[in-house]
Chains A and B, each alone.
Chain A
C-alpha cells in the first residue's frame, strides 16, 4: 500500500533528526564512552523518588487537574518567586506539561498561524524548528557566533525580523553551546522585541545550571517583558528528572488558557506521580536551600573545567561554556567536518559526541560534548580524544 497520499506533507517535509542517525551508528558499537547524552548522570535524589513511591502506595492513580496538581502549581509559583523574583498566579498563569518539550510544542501551536515566522537562534535544541513547522509556521534561523560567545545579539535579531515575525524562541542557557545571556544582552533583545511587538518563548530549562559566578536572568524579569513572555522550565536538568517528563509554562493568563485548551484535548494531564515527585523536589529544595541542586551543579562545574581545559590542551579551540552541561569545541583544526570528526572518533576511539550540525547549519565546525559523565570515564574519553586529535593534525 502506498501511504504517501495519507501522510501530511508538512510533517513529511521535516527531515529526521541528525541526532537519530548518529544514535543508530553509536548503537552498533560496544563499550562506547558517550559524551553524546543530553541528561544528568545523577539519578533523581531518593527523597523525590520516594514521594512518587508513597503516592502509588496510597493509591493516587487518578487524573489530575488539566493544568496540573494545585500543590505543584503552588510550588512552582513559590519557586519562581524565591529564585528569580517572578510572580505567576498558580491558578491562571501556570500550566504543567509533559516535560518542557510539550510546553514548547503547545506554545507554538497556540501562538503561530500559517505563514507566520518564528525566530530560532542557532545552534540550538533540535525540536524548535520542527515544532514551528508542525504548528504551521515558518522557522527562521538566527545564527549566533562564537565571536559573540554564541549570544543572541540585538543586531542579528533585528536583521531577521520581517512583518510576518510573530515570536522569538530564546534558548538560554543554551544547548548545545553552553552559552548564557547577561542582563545587558537580554535588554538589547528586549528592545527589538518591544519595537516589533513580538512574543518570546523563553526556554529556561537549564536555568539552575550556570557557573563561574554568573546568575540566571529570566527574560520575564526584564521591564515590561512579563506580558510578552512564556517562561518555559521543568525538572529534568536541575533535579535530574528527565524520565519523569514534567515541565511547565508560565505566562499571561490569556495565552496559558489557550495552551491549556490544546493540552486538555491532546494530553489531559501530565502523569500524576511525576507531578507529585516534582512538587516534592521544589518543596524540599525550598526548605533546604536547594542543597541537591547545588551539589549536582558543583559536580558539573568541576567536570566542566576539566573538559574545557583538556580541549584547549589538545589544541581544540573551546569557548568557555557558562551554562547547561555541554562544551562546544571547534574541530576545524583537524580539517574535518563535524560529522566526519564524530563518526571517526566513534569508530576509531569508541567515544561518542554529537556533531554541531545536528543543532543547525551554524554548528558546522563544532561538536557537542556533555560533561555529565562519571569522572573516570570522562578522563578516559578525553585522553582518547587527545590521541585522536594528535593523529589528525
Chain B
C-alpha cells in the first residue's frame, strides 16, 4: 500500500462523498493520480462499495437482527468455505465470519420480524446438512458500529473560542 492509497482509504472511509478535487488537495496528489489510484483500489476490490451508515432505529422500517453462532462439520478439501458460501447466499444473511473459539461461523442475520427470523433459523439454516448446532442471540440495542457511536449527538465539548 502506498501512502496515497492509505490516505485515500482513510478519507473515503470517513466520507465517501468527498469530491476528487478535495481528495487531491488533501493528499497533495494530482487529480489524475487520485482518480487512477481510486480506480485501481476498486478494481483490486480493496474498495468494495460506497455506502451510508444508517440508524434504522430512527426510521419506521421494521427490522430485527440476530447474531447466530453456528457449529458445522468442515468438509474434506473445502474446510469451512463451502458451507460459508452456502450460508451467505441467503438474503437474510448480512455477514458471515469464520471464528476461532467454541463455534465455527458467526452469522449476522436481518429480517423484518421475529417470526421471519425464527423461520430462517429453523427452516433454512439448521436443516443444512453440515450444520450441527446453532445459538441465536437477538440484537437489542446498537451502541457503536464501525467506529460510529449511535446513542449520542454532537460531542464536541470544546470552548467556541480559546487561545
Q: What CA separation (Å) do A41 and B27 show in the bound complex?
A: 20
Cβ-defined partner of A34 (8 Å) among B15, B22, B27, B161: B161
**Whole-angstrom CA separation of A23 from B15 in the bound complex:** 31
Instruction: Please provide the chain B residues from 21 to 55 with a CB less than 8 Å away from any CB of chain A in the complex.
Output: 22, 25-28
Looking at A7-15, A267-275, A302-310, A329-337, the stretch in contact with chain B turns out to be A302-310
What chain A residues lie within 8 Å of B11 (beta carbons)? 302
The chain A residue with its CB closest to the CB of B155 is A43
- Chain B contributes a number of interface residues (CB within 8 A of A) equal to 18
Question: Is A226 an interface residue, CB under 8 A from the partner?
Answer: no
**Interface flag for A375 (CB, 8 Å):** yes
B-contact 0/1 string along A271-312, CB 8 Å cutoff: 000000000000000000000000000110011011001000
Chain A CB within 10 Å — which of B14, B27, B162 has the most? B162
Taking CB atoms and an 8 Å cut-off, the chain A residues in 13-54 that contact chain B are 17, 19, 22-23, 26-27, 32, 34, 36-39, 41
- Per-residue CB proximity of A68-101 to B under 8 Å, as 1/0? 0000000000000000000000000000000000
> Is A374 close to B, CB under 8 A?
yes
Q: How large is the interface on A (under 10, 10 to 19, 20 to 34, 35 or more residues)?
A: 20 to 34
B146 at the A interface (CB under 8 A): no
Asked if B160 and A306 sit within 8 Å, CB to CB, the answer is no
A37/B159 in contact, CB under 8 A: yes
* Beta-carbon nearest neighbor of A19 in chain B: B163
Q: Is A367 an interface residue (CB 8 A)?
A: no
Q: Known contacts A38-B163, A303-B26; decide if A375 and B158 are in contact (CB<8 Å).
A: no
Which of B14, B18, B27, B160 is in CB contact (< 8 Å) with A36? B160
Residue A352 lies at the interface, judged by CB distance under 8 Å to chain B: yes
Q: Which residues of B contact A309 (CB under 8 A)?
A: 25
Q: Do B158 and A41 touch across chains, with their CB atoms under 8 A apart?
A: yes
Complex: how many Å from CA A302 to CA B26? Answer: 4
Tell me which residues from 116 to 163 in chain B have a Cβ below 8 Å from any Cβ of chain A.
Answer: 156, 158-163
**Whole-angstrom distance between the alpha carbons of A302 and B4 in the complex?**
11
A26 vs B160: C-alpha distance when bound (angstroms): 7
- Given A302-B11, A375-B14, A375-B15, CB of A23 within 8 Å of CB of B25: no
In the complex, are the beta carbons of A38 and B26 less than 8 A apart? no
Cα(A299)–Cα(B163), bound, Å: 21
In the complex, residue of chain B having the shortest beta-carbon distance to the beta carbon of A125: B163
Rounded to whole angstroms, the CA-CA distance of A288 and B154 in the bound complex is 31
Q: Does B57 touch A at the CB level, under 8 Å?
A: no
Give chain B's interface secondary structure class. Answer: loop
Question: Is B81's beta carbon under 8 Å from chain A?
Answer: no
Question: B163's closest neighbor in chain A, by CB?
Answer: A126
Contact flags A340-355 to B (C-beta < 8 A → 1, else 0):
0000000000001010
Q: Identify which of A19, A175, A375, A379 contacts B161 (C-beta below 8 A).
A: A19
Q: For B163, list chain A residues within 8 Å (CB).
A: 17, 19, 38, 125-127, 175, 358
Taking CB as reference atom, which chain A residue is nearest B6?
A298
Contact A36 to B28, CB < 8 A, known contacts A41-B156, A302-B7, A374-B156: no
CB of A37 within 8 A of CB of B162, answer yes
Within 8 A of A (CB), among B77-135: none
Residues from chain B with Cβ under 8 Å of A376 in the complex: 15
A303: chain B residues at CB < 8 Å are: 26
B residues whose Cβ falls under 8 Å from a Cβ of A: 7, 10-11, 14-15, 18, 22, 25-28, 156, 158-163
**Known contacts A34-B158, A302-B27; can you find 8 more A-B pairs with CB under 8 A?**
A19-B162, A23-B159, A23-B160, A26-B160, A302-B7, A302-B11, A305-B26, A375-B14
Can you offer 24 A-B residue contacts whose CB atoms are under 8 A? A19-B163, A23-B159, A23-B160, A23-B161, A23-B162, A37-B158, A37-B161, A38-B163, A127-B163, A298-B7, A298-B10, A299-B10, A302-B7, A305-B25, A305-B27, A306-B22, A306-B25, A352-B160, A352-B161, A354-B161, A358-B163, A375-B15, A375-B18, A376-B15
- Partner-B contacts on A (CB < 8 A): 17, 19, 22-23, 26-27, 32, 34, 36-39, 41, 125-127, 175, 298-299, 302-303, 305-306, 309, 352, 354, 358, 374-376, 379
